[in-house]
Chain A
Amino acid sequence: MMSEVAQDEEKWLGAGIAGLQQNAFYMHRALDSNNLRDALKYSAQMLSELRTSRLSPHKYYELYMRAFDELRKLEMFFKEETRRGCSIVDLYELVQHAGNILPRLYLLCTVGSVYIKSKEAPAKDVLKDLVEMCRGIQHPVRGLFLRSYLSQVSRDKLPDIGSEYEGDADTVVDAVEFVLQNFTEMNKLWVRMQHQGPAREKEKREKERSELRDLVGKNLHVLSQIEGVDLEMYKETVLPRVLEQVVNCKDELAQYYLMDCIIQVFPDEYHLQTLETLLGAYPQLQPSVDVKTVLSQLMERLSNYAASSAEALPEFLQVEAFAKLNNAIGKVIEAQVDMPVAGAVTLYSSLLTFTLHVHPDRLDYVDQVLGACVKKLSGKGKLEDSRATKQIVALLSAPLEKYNDIMTALKLSNYPRVMEYLDNGTNKVMAVVIIQSIMKNNTCVSTADKVEALFELIKGLIKDLDGTFDDELDEEDFKEEQNSVARLIQMLYSDDPEEMFKIICTVRKHILTGGPKRLPFTAPPLVFSALKLVRRLQGQDENVVGEEALATPKKIFQFLNQIIEALSTVPTPELALRLYLQCAEAANDSDLEPVAYEFFTQAYILYEEEISDSKAQVTAIHLIIGTLQRMHVFGVENRDTLTHKATGYSAKLLKKPDQCRAVYACSHLFWVDDQDSVKDGERVLLCLKRALRIANAAQQMTNATRGGSGSVTLFVEILNKYLYFFEKGNPQVNIAAIQGLIELITTEMQSDTSTQDPAADAFFASTLRYIQFQKQKGGVIGEKYEPIKV
């Protein structure tokens, strides 16, 4: 649906076009018959359509373009006329007889263009005359379009250097003077427009003014295209004159737009060489002008320029661009008291980008910018404005991206101070950005001091800030964050064991503040990092380690004990148990019996006191058995105590099948292949027999509850254990026992009541196949298996 106003406008435009076409038609006829008088009459009538006040700038432009095209034909006609002998001076006089001033001036400009081309008068005189005459139109829209017409038709006739219109009397100075004058007049018309008409239409007027802006700005484009405007002339004439207009017009829209135009239409070199003048204008602008955007655009342009060519860099240094920009920003922020924090941060962010591009080696500049930012932020508390925080993240990310190295950022004393002003959420985002940078670049953080600084920087992830805990926290986000911290811990490394130990201690200090939710994520990587260090120390000659050395395996194990203890109070006993066992194994490799024993004891205490879930118990007991089986450091006594306990735990599991499996697994605790001291065949057999009893009991229980016999799986599993020890030469495990077991299983399977269990059948069948296979092997093994009948 078109609004009524828009419909009306379409109607007016339609009527305007119709009137224009009608008069153009008669004008064409007059042109075809070389009737100058009629041609002037109808063209003037045609141009009268541009006298309308009813069209918005957009629609007016459409009408104007049609008139513009028609005037090109008239212009050609004028050219032909002069070729036919008509005096251009006479023509110039003649068109001034048109009744209305607007058509008269359009015609005058059109003839004027031919006049200049004829070179019968100096270009500058004609231009001066035209630009003065145009003062006759003070209606803003009409005046702006008329002057834009003048600008367009004179565009290629300016006495620029090297132009055919340059002469003794005409110089580029005249060309510049002409454009500047036209610009000044247009800007005045444009600025004045806001004061015309009723106050209630202010918004509409602002919109219309905004549409008209390019007509004014185009003059600056024309200036920039004049070849004779060299740096000298730009510096001495063009820029001061343009800025004078911009500052004095005291109009927000004009100031914002024209500053942007100046930056965009003139070349970078000019800006660099006139930085002081240009920047000097900023604090003089109206307080409502969005200076930060324009200033940021300037810095962005200069940054790109610096990045584009290495040859440009010395220029930047020569003019002390950084100092000037820094100074200007300070002044602008000072002058615009009401500038929102986001605005100020945007400015600093642009300046930082500029610095990183232009002076990548000047870390002090970077720190200076951050420091200025801190100053602006101080006393404001945490930022809550989302735009401002976004800008700060950009500000803080820039050095990371540039240097690809967090170590550089850590050297910036103001870096953490800026982070202080972020709200907790953004602080975390920034911390993740930092960790990602480390990951991406494989940055080596290799001293405890650096680690300290780094963890201080990312403390948003390490602990609850301000003691508040956000209940709304997204579980997945939290995991993601903590996993990234875990990865970071793995990245910290020093070749020097002493330093490495210090790093580990520093990390511990920080992660212990993280509370029960974070420790399960952060403690394991630290434990493994410390274990890695232990392994490194094992490779070293004992003597190398001095007496006062901190990093001895013993000390590290002590340290580990504390960490895991903290974890067990979280409580995550299962995780703690795994870590204790891991440590026990490491202590075993370090030949530290008491330490290994201590870890086992801790694991057992946890098992007894904290792990109550039956499934968790099963997992835990198998871990314990597995680890204990591999230990070789223990003397008989310690080993007995531990295996005894493990067997005891196994027999006390909740479910019979679990008991059975754990008990037969315990058999391995008494028979270790590569340890001659651990070959107790009798106790192996005891375990297996006990497992059989439990299997029996399990089956009976199934019989009682389900009315049918249970699966034979457990028996087959035990049979396999028998075969294992038989093969390993355990004298207690003999043919008769194996034979008996096979028969037992066969009978069970054939009984009517047995439950169908294809998996168990297959398992048994393949076990028998194995026996068969071993028999056929011949040799020692074959002989050994020979007596077994299947």
Chain B
Amino acid sequence: MSSRRRMLLKVIILGDSGVGKTSLMNQYVNRKFSNQYKATIGADFLTKEVQFEDRLFTLQIWDTAGQERFQSLGVAFYRGADCCVLAYDVNVMKSFDNLNNWREEFLIQAAPSDPENFPFVVLGNKIDVDGGNSRVVSEKKAKAWCASKGNIPYFETSAKEGFNVEAAFECIAKNALKNEPEEEIYLPDTIDVAGGGRQQRSSGCEC
């Protein structure tokens, strides 16, 4: 049973609106890129099969809405994540400043049992823009922040040009795999001999 569980790795991508979360996922899963900005609504995932140490895994990559008003149902989907990707735009200082908020929000909401060692990966995206002339967050600064948060792996990426995306997700998958699964060990307190299941509690229509 546990072997089946370990075949699926859940990854959540967080970050401000417009940093390229959807583009990073699309580039990695479909090798496609579109320059057009399209907001994401709610949470949405794509899967990708990855081979690692001779085993096949399914990477379940959750792309999220960066705009709060498109996250009306809350973040129950954080539950059971194996790795959290924090993305920002190297050309927008605010998106970097907000990484801390995203990280803390994730730790509070997902409540992993060992928050100190929960695997994060930081992606500094859009390094291609204007030949790097418009960037405002230096690699040094980003790395310093990552180091201060328990040596978070850091990648500079360009979803547009596909630069470093593959390598980043390889690292993401590796770290997700290292994360000890938090399978809630469930043991039924009564063995249901009759096997008839529990009483149906639902009221209303019988659907």
> A456 near B: Cβ within 8 Å?
no
Q: Is B77 in contact with A139, judged by CB distance below 8 angstroms?
A: no
Given the complex, which residues of A lie within 8 Å of B22, measured CB to CB?
Answer: 225
- Least CB distance from B137 to A in Å reads 19
Which residue from A25, A210, A214 sits with its C-beta under 8 Å from B42? A214
The segment from A16-24, A330-338, A361-369, A719-727 that touches chain B is: A16-24
Q: How far is the CA of A15 from the CA of B199 in the complex (A)?
A: 12
Query: Does B76 reach chain A (CB closer than 8 Å)?
Result: yes
Of B3-11, B94-102, B152-160, B162-170, which stretch is located at the interface? B3-11
Question: B79 contacts which chain A residues (CB < 8 A)?
Answer: 62, 65-66, 69
Inter-chain contacts of A269 with B (CB < 8 A): 36
Bound-state Cα–Cα, A164 to B78, Å: 30
Instruction: Write out the residue numbers on chain A whose beta carbons fall within 8 Å of the beta carbon of B186.
Output: 21-22, 24-25
Binds B, one of A258-266, A507-515, A561-569, A627-635: A258-266
* Of B58, B184, B203, the contact of A21 (CB 8 Å cutoff): B184
Interface status of A376 (Cβ within 8 A of chain B): no
> Restricting to A84-107, which residues have a CB under 8 Å from any CB of B?
100-102
Q: Contacting chain A: which of B67-75, B119-127, B138-146, B172-180?
A: B67-75
Which A17-38 residues have a C-beta within 8 angstroms of B? Answer: 19, 21-26, 28-29, 31-32
**Which of B38, B46, B71, B202 contacts A214 (CB under 8 A)?**
B71
Asked if B197 is an interface residue, CB under 8 A from chain A, the answer is yes
B170-207 Cβ-contact flags toward A at 8 Å (1 or 0): 00000000000000101110001000011011111111
Instruction: Please give, as numbers and ranges, the residues of chain B lying within 8 Å of A25 by CB-CB distance.
Output: 186-188
Choose one: A19, A156, A265; the contact of B198 (CB below 8 Å): A19
Asked if A387 lies at the interface with its beta carbon under 8 angstroms from chain B, I say no
User: In the bound complex, do residue B70 and residue A53 qualify as a contact, i.e. CB atoms below 8 Å apart?
Assistant: no
Contact B39 A22 (CB under 8 A): no
Answer yes or no: B1 CB below 8 A from chain A CBs. Answer: yes
Given A100-B206, A213-B72, A218-B41, CB of A31 within 8 Å of CB of B36: no
B184 cross-chain contacts in A, Cβ below 8 A? 21
Q: Is chain A's binding surface mostly helix, strand, loop or mixed?
A: helix
Check A73–B5 contact: CB distance below 8 A: yes
Q: Is the CB of A267 within 8 A of B204?
A: no
Q: Is the CB of A138 within 8 A of B203?
A: no
Compute how far the CA of A51 lies from the CA of B206 in the bound complex, rounded to whole angstroms.
Answer: 8
Q: Is the CB of A215 within 8 A of B73?
A: yes
Task: State whether A221 and B44 are in contact (beta carbons under 8 Å apart), knowing that A53-B204, A267-B36 are contacts in the complex.
Answer: yes
Contacts of A19 in B (CB 8 A): 198
Contacts of B5 in A (CB 8 A): 73
Tell me the nearest residue of chain A to B36, going by C-beta: A267
On whether the beta carbons of A155 and B73 are closer than 8 Å, the reply is: no
With A76-B4, A264-B70 already in contact, the answer to whether A15 and B39 are too (CB < 8 A) is: no
Choose from A28, A65, A156, A211 the contact partner of B1 (Cβ within 8 Å): A28
Contact partner of A211 (CB less than 8 A), chosen from B60, B73, B198, is B73
Nearest B-chain residue to A65, judged by Cβ: B76
State A215–B186 Cα separation when bound (angstroms). Answer: 31
Report the bound CA distance from A35 to B192 in whole Å. Answer: 18
- The answer, yes or no, to whether A429 is at the interface (CB within 8 Å) is no
Residues of B within 8 A of A214 (CB): 41-42, 65, 70-73
The residues of A that contact B45 with a CB separation of less than 8 Å are 152, 155
How far apart are A442's CB and chain B's nearest CB, in angstroms? Answer: 29
Check A355 for interface membership: any CB of B closer than 8 A: no
Cα A211 to Cα B70 with chains together (Å)? 10
The reply on A378 being an interface residue by CB < 8 A is: no
Chain A: minimal CB distance from B204 (Å): 5
Supposing A156-B46, A210-B72 touch, asked if A48 and B36 sit within 8 A by C-beta, the answer is: no
Contact A212 B38 (CB under 8 A): no
Q: Given A57-B73, A136-B207, A213-B72, is A220 in contact with B41 using a C-beta cutoff of 8 Å?
A: yes
Q: A224 contacts the other chain (Cβ, under 8 Å)?
A: yes
Contact with B along A204-223 (1 / 0, CB 8 A): 00000011111101101110
Q: Which residue of the partner chain B has the closest CB to A214?
A: B42
- A45 at interface by CB-CB < 8 Å: yes
Residues of B participating in the A interface, judged by any CB pair closer than 8 Å: 1, 4-5, 7-8, 22, 26, 29, 32, 34, 36-42, 44-47, 58, 60, 65, 67, 69-74, 76-77, 79-80, 184, 186-188, 192, 197-198, 200-207
Known: A102-B207, A155-B46, A214-B73. 6 other contacts (CB 8 A): A31-B1, A53-B202, A215-B73, A220-B41, A221-B41, A265-B41
A–B complex contacts, Cβ < 8 Å, 27 sampled = A25-B187, A45-B198, A51-B200, A53-B203, A53-B204, A57-B73, A58-B76, A65-B76, A65-B79, A66-B79, A72-B8, A76-B4, A100-B207, A136-B207, A139-B204, A152-B45, A155-B44, A155-B46, A212-B73, A213-B72, A218-B41, A221-B38, A221-B41, A225-B22, A264-B38, A264-B67, A266-B38
6 tightest A-B CB contacts, nearest first: A267-B36, A264-B39, A214-B42, A51-B202, A221-B41, A217-B41
Query: Which residues on A are within 8 Å of B, measured CB to CB?
Result: 15, 19, 21-26, 28-29, 31-32, 45, 48, 51-53, 57-58, 61-62, 64-66, 69, 72-73, 76-77, 100-102, 136-139, 142, 152, 155-156, 210-215, 217-218, 220-222, 224-225, 227, 260-261, 264-269
